Amino acid sequence: MAFELPPLGYDYASLEPHVDAMTMNIHHTKHHQAYINNLNGALDKFPELKDLGIVDINKAVGTDKLPAEVATVIRNNGGGHYNHTFFWKVMTNPSNTNGPSGAVKEAIETAFGSVDEMKTKFNAAAAGRFGSGWAWLGVKADGSLAISSTPNQDNPLMSSLPDTAAMTPILGLDVWEHAYYLKYQNRRPEYIAAWWNVVNWEQVTANFEAAKAGSVPL
């Protein structure tokens, strides 16, 4: 079955003024759609891979499960599809975001000392990613939380890749320029700081609970 562009759970203007409507429209309908088109094109060459879901495709990156002919295309575009599908869900209208609570807040405080300290370290990972990439908050195998950064469209599910911290993502931020340049130009730190105003902490909590139960949230 071919992958399709998932609908957003909100309007393109819902994240204003922190993420502008034009960026959201282009990001969703052009950039994300292009990853899907390219991924489907690669999978057409190897129909036996079409039974894999997007999570399993990402976990197969860096292994011999992916034919060499399409391994890089699948890595880039399968990663792009998973990352963006995940990204849309961890954002919401600013009026709906109240910060972490419950078990996920407790886990953040245990791992980092405070929510503010977690944000500081996350911001540093996002701002310090040279070129294009992502910053992640995730659950490690021992159940604790950690922060990592990946280049391009890589993600923590691709644990077979060198220098990729294996964990299950519960929050992720796109720091490719197309995610912020129309509004913030080269001011990536300003975009990162503003983005916390649209984080969907209810979804992050659900992702945390899924990860703790051994599932990969999507």
Q: Is 84 annotated as ligand-binding?
A: yes
Name the CA radius of gyration of the chain, rounded: 17
How many CA within 13 A on the CB side of residue 94? Answer: 11
Alpha-carbon distance 69 to 216, whole Å? Answer: 27
State the Cα angle at 163 between 160 and 167, rounded to 5°.
65
Contact 77, 35 (CB under 8 A): yes
Give the dihedral of Cα atoms 75, 135, 182, 100; nearest 10 deg. Answer: 130
Quickly count: other Cβ atoms within 10 Å of residue 171's Cβ: 24
Asked if 132 and 177 touch (Cβ cutoff 8 Å), the reply is yes
Query: Terminus-to-terminus CA distance in the chain, angstroms?
Result: 18
28 marked as part of a ligand binding site: no
Which residue shows structure tokens 């003024």?
A: 17
Where does residue 168 rank: exposed (0-12), middle (13-18), buried (19+ CB within 10 A)?
A: buried
Q: Please give the annotated binding residues for Mn(2+), written as ranges.
A: 27, 84, 174, 178
Q: Please give the annotated binding residues, written as ranges.
A: 27, 84, 174, 178
